[in-house]
């Protein structure tokens, strides 16, 4: 050994290093990925060269483990591998990987030198790529299931109240932002909030401009889950799942049971995040993967497109952000590379509202368009300043996952601050892009999405009933003009209007039946029943006008009959009286006012008295030989009889209102 050391000193003190081939390529095997328990596919090679770069032969080199994954066998760890350098100066080590997956570090040294060289290899489970994909997909499935499960549970326990809350508190744009954020925090889905807004706008519950503030708030509220994930809440995901599970199983009260479901869903969300984070961890150990993924940040537009498409498919920006943060926990991506993905997630999440607006009216389409155009505009504004935005976000935290969450939150906060003062001109712009369109006759307020909120659903049915009543009132007014002017075209318009009345009667009835199938209060049940009866009364009035009055008008027009002056004055008075009863009934229906309803109900008897009076007056004219009275006798008596029927049906509306109390 001493002789060898003397020879080495004379040739120039050699040193150990990772082996390289003649072209300078690393062939040491450092950082290779292997399968646990199997022989390394390539040997670990340590090189010994002198100061002149010449290989040194015949020097012993030892290789020993200095760091291994936990639970690695002690016998394996204590193994010391030895070899002697060959003519190329190489010491070559062939051995098996340990039986525990993870990163193994070794140190090469020589008994006669002070040099130390560290190398490593990564042991993976067999088919680790398959398990990585399965882990990502499985974790993603748990995450999405948790989101949907929690949203449904929240809808069951408080969906109606949330809709009523949203309905009542959106008049002020700033308040709308707060309401939108609050509801989205509870539902964990900005898509659910915007779909709700699409329904509200379609039903006329909120104006288009009212929805804009709520959209801004919804985009802020959806960032909360991402913030919680960045806090590593998923580390206690199983505890959250256990608490929610036992509340579901043992909670006898409905509120406790559904609260348990919501907690259980949150646990699934966070556990799915943990599964995805664990699944991508092996990628962090593979040389080149991290640098390759980070290099993707140099193609921000491609990342933007891919993120938009993916988020549009899964219809959840939260899901996209969960995957990004799982990569951030592994250090597989930098903050500058995540920002285009965040932008794409914000655009892609608008797809849900766009789909919900398909087949709906102009207001619903305006809400969906306003959402996506607002997002696209913000991305256009921010996109040229990705680097500056990344620098700003980098100062908010030392943790990369926290930076990702902060970027998502600040982007939406900046958007709200920028757009809040511009909501009025922005709403006018969208209204110009999407002007009102003419559509065929159909129910305007009967949105099926309100069925889970019976109070709102009954309110919508009332609005549609009032719309039906207005049509009937217009028919009654127009029918008198037909008798007065003998206009056949006007008569046909009145007859055709009855088709609209019939359509509304059918749709309102079916809608109220659907409402009654859910759990509703006694007061709401009584009001719903009253509306069913009132709709029936209005339909009967429409039938009397189109199938009786307009038939008499047709006979009058064809035959050229003329009522006597006294007789026509009585008919005009009866039209006025019945019309006034119907007007009062509509007013009573609008407010469900008892006093007004009582007055309406009392007019039934007045109508009967009026019928008897005008019947006798007509017979008196016949006895006196009035020619016009003789010619129109049959039409006259049937006409005043049907006007009394109209008055009676209108009076019944007052009775139904009183019975609903």
Same-domain check for residues 458 and 413: no
- β-bridge mates for residue 51, sequence order: none
Give mean pLDDT, residues 594-610.
Answer: 91
Mean pLDDT of the chain: 83
Considering just the CA atoms, what is the radius of gyration of the chain in Å?
A: 40
Same domain, 485 and 613: yes
Mean pLDDT value of segment 511-538: 86
Q: Is 631 contained in some domain?
A: yes
Find, among 60, 146, 67, the residue nearest to 109 by Cα. Answer: 60
Same domain, 482 and 338: no
Query: What average pLDDT does this structure show over 566-580?
Result: 89
Last residue of a domain, one of 102, 126, 150: 126
At what angle are helices 128-168 and 317-329 packed, to 10 degrees? Answer: 140
Question: Between 633-659 and 565-591, two packed helices, what is the crossing angle to 10 degrees?
Answer: 20
- The answer to whether 549 and 622 are in contact (CB under 8 A) is no
For residue 544, name the pLDDT band (cuts at 50, 70, 90): very high
Mean pLDDT, residues 429-455: 77
Q: How confident is residue 530, by pLDDT bands cut at 50, 70 and 90?
A: very high
CA 482 to chain CA centroid, Å, is: 52
The pTM of the full predicted model, rounded to 2 decimals, is: 0.60
Residue 162 pLDDT > 70? no
Give 634: exposed, middle or buried? Use CB within 10 Å, 0-12, 13-18, 19+: exposed
Least confident of 392-406, 549-563, 602-616: 549-563
Q: What six digits make up the tokens of 617?
A: 């007056």
Q: Report the pLDDT value the prediction gives residue 65, as an integer from 0 to 100.
A: 93
Q: Average of pLDDT values for 499-504? A: 90
Of the candidate ranges 205-214, 460-469, 625-634, the one whose mean pLDDT is the lowest? 625-634
Distance CA 87, CA 284 (A): 37
| Locus of tokens 């006597």 | 564
Whether 500 and 630 share a structural domain: yes
Domain assignment of residue 438, yes or no: no
Quote the pLDDT of residue 169: 55
For residue 17, give the H/E element and its range: strand 15-18
For residue 18, the enclosing domain spans 2-126
The answer to which of 12-21, 255-264, 333-342, 621-630 has the lowest mean pLDDT is 621-630
Strands laid side by side in the 102-109 sheet = 32-35, 116-124, 102-109, 60-67, 80-84
Query: Same domain for 356 and 210?
Result: yes
Q: Are 215 and 200 in contact (CB under 8 A)?
A: no
C-alpha torsion 53→55→58→63, nearest 10: 80
Q: What is the predicted pLDDT for the residue at 630?
A: 46
424 and 341 in one domain?
yes
Please tell me the distance from the alpha carbon of residue 278 to that of residue 91, in angstroms, as a whole number.
36
Mean pLDDT of 611-628: 72
Q: How far apart are CA 658 and CA 530, in angstroms?
A: 9
- Please indicate, yes or no, whether residues 354 and 390 belong to a single structural domain of this protein: yes
Cα gap 129→35, rounded to integer Å: 11
| Residue at a domain's end among 385, 403, 433 | 433
The reply to whether 54 falls in a domain is yes
Q: Which pLDDT score, from 0 to 100, does residue 10 have? A: 47
Is 110 a domain residue?
Answer: yes
Of 108, 126, 144, the one marking the end of a domain is 126
Question: Between 571 and 358, whose confidence is greater?
Answer: 571
**For residue 439, is it within any domain?**
no
Confidence of residue 599 (pLDDT cuts 50, 70, 90): very high
Based on the fold, state whether residues 99 and 157 are members of the same structural domain.
no
C-alpha torsion 580→585→587→591, nearest 10? 160
> Per residue in 135-144, pLDDT tens?
888 888 887 7
Residue 631: band (very low, low, confident or very high) from pLDDT cuts 50, 70, 90: low
What are the start-end ranges of the E strands in 19-173? 32-35, 44-49, 60-67, 80-84, 90-93, 102-109, 116-124
With respect to residue 443, please indicate whether it lies within any of the assigned structural domains.
no
Instruction: Tell me which DSSP letter residue 97 carries.
Output: P
Which of 273, 235, 236, 251 minimizes the C-alpha distance to 146? 273
Find out whether 189 and 262 touch, Cβ atoms under 8 Å: no
Co-location of 410 and 460 in the same domain: no
Residues 120, 142 share a domain: no
Residue 487 lies in a domain: yes
- Within-domain flag for 549: yes
Average pLDDT of the segment spanning 369-389:
91
Report the pLDDT averaged over residues 82-106: 91
The total of structural domains in the chain comes to 3
Same domain, 282 and 144: yes
Average pLDDT of the segment spanning 645-653: 94
| Three-state secondary structure call for residue 26 | strand
Which tens digits make up the pLDDT trace of 167-202? 555 567 777 788 778 777 766 667 667 777 776 776
DSSP letter string, 566-600: HHHHHHHHHHHHHHHHHHHHHHHHHHT-HHHHHHH
**CA 326 to mean position of chain CA atoms:** 23
Place of tokens 């080590």: 93
Q: Got the DSSP string for 441-477?
A: S--SS--GGGGGSHHHHHHHHHHHHHHHHHHHHHHHH
Q: What is the pLDDT of residue 644?
A: 93
Mean pLDDT, residues 91-118: 89
Q: How confident is the model at residue 13 (pLDDT cuts 50, 70, 90)?
A: low
Residues 376 and 506 in one domain: no
- Among residues 349, 321, 324, the alpha carbon closest in space to that of 189 is found at 349
297 secondary structure, DSSP code? G
**118-132, 157-171, 267-281, 335-349 — which one is most confidently predicted on average?**
335-349
- For position 569, which CATH number holds? 1.20.58.220
CA distance 331 to 324: 10
CATH for 24: 2.60.40.10
Question: pLDDT exceeding 90 applies to what percent of the chain?
Answer: 27
- Predicted local distance difference test score (pLDDT) of residue 9: 46
């Amino acid at each position: 050994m001493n002789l060898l050391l003397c020879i080495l000193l004379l040739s120039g003190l050699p040193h150990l290093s990772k082996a390289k081939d003649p072209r300078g390529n690393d062939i040491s095997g450092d950082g290779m990925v292997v399968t646990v328990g199997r022989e390394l596919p390539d040997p670990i090679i340590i090189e010994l060269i002198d100061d002149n770069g010449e290989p040194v032969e015949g020097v012993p080199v030892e290789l020993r483990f200095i760091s291994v994954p936990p639970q690695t066998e002690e016998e394996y760890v204590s193994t010391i591998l030895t070899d002697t350098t060959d003519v190329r100066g190489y010491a070559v080590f062939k051995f098996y990987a340990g039986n525990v997956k993870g990163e193994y570090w070794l140190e090469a040294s020589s008994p006669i030198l002070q040099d130390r060289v560290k190398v490593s290899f990564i042991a993976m489970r067999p088919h680790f790529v398959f398990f990585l994909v399965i882990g990502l997909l499985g974790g993603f499935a748990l995450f999405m299931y948790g989101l949907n499960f929690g949203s449904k549970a929240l809808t069951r326990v408080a969906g109606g109240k949330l809709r009523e809350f949203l309905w009542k508190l959106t008049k002020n744009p700033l308040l709308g932002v707060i309401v939108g954020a609050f509801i989205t925090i509870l539902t964990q889905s900005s898509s659910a909030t915007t779909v709700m807004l699409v329904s509200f706008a379609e039903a006329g519950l909120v104006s288009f401009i009212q929805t804009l503030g709520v959209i801004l708030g919804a985009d802020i509220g959806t960032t909360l889950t991402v913030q919680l994930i960045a806090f590593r809440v998923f580390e206690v995901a199983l505890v959250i799942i256990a608490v929610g599970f036992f509340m579901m199983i043992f909670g006898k009260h409905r509120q406790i049971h559904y609260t348990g479901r919501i907690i259980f869903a949150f646990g699934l969300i966070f556990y799915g995040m943990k599964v995805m984070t664990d699944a991508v961890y092996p990628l962090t150990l593979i040389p080149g993967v991290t640098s390759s993924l980070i290099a993707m940040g140099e193609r921000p537009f491609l990342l933007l497109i891919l993120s938009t498409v993916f988020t549009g498919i899964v219809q959840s920006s939260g899901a996209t952000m969960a995957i990004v943060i799982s990569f951030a926990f592994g250090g597989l991506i930098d903050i500058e590379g995540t920002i285009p993905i965040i932008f794409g997630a914000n655009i892609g999440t608008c797809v849900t509202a766009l789909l919900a607006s398909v087949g709906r009216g102009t207001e619903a389409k305006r809400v969906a368009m306003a959402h996506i155009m607002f997002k696209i505009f913000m991305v256009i504004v921010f996109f040229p300043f990705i680097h500056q935005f990344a620098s700003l976000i980098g100062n908010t935290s030392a943790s990369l996952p926290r930076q990702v969450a902060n970027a998502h939150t600040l982007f939406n906060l900046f958007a709200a601050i920028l757009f809040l003062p511009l909501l009025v001109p922005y709403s006018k712009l969208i209204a110009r892009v999407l002007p009102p369109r003419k559509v065929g006759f159909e129910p305007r307020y009967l949105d099926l999405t309100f069925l889970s909120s019976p109070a709102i659903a009954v309110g919508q049915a009332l609005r549609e009933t009032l719309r039906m009543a207005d049509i009937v009132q217009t028919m009654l007014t127009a029918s008198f003009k037909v008798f007065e002017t003998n206009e056949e075209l006007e008569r046909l318009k009145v007859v055709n209007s009855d088709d609209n009345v019939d359509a509304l009667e059918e749709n309102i009835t079916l809608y109220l039946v659907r409402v009654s199938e859910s759990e509703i209060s006694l007061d709401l049940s009584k009001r719903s029943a009253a509306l069913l009866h009132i709709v029936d009364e209005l339909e009967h009035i429409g039938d009397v006008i189109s199938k009786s009055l307009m038939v008499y008008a047709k006979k009058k027009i064809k035959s050229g009959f003329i009522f006597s002056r006294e007789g026509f004055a009585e008919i005009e008075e009866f039209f006025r009286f019945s019309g006034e009863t119907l007007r009062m009934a509509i007013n009573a229906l609008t407010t469900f006012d008892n006093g007004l309803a009582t007055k309406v109900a009392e007019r039934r008897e007045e109508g009967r008295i009026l019928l008897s009076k005008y019947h006798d007056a007509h017979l008196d004219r016949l006895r006196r030989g009035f020619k016009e009275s003789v010619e129109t006798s049959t039409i006259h008596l049937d006409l005043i009889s049907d006007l009394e029927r109209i008055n009676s049906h209108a009076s019944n509306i007052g009775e139904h209102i009183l019975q609903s109390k």
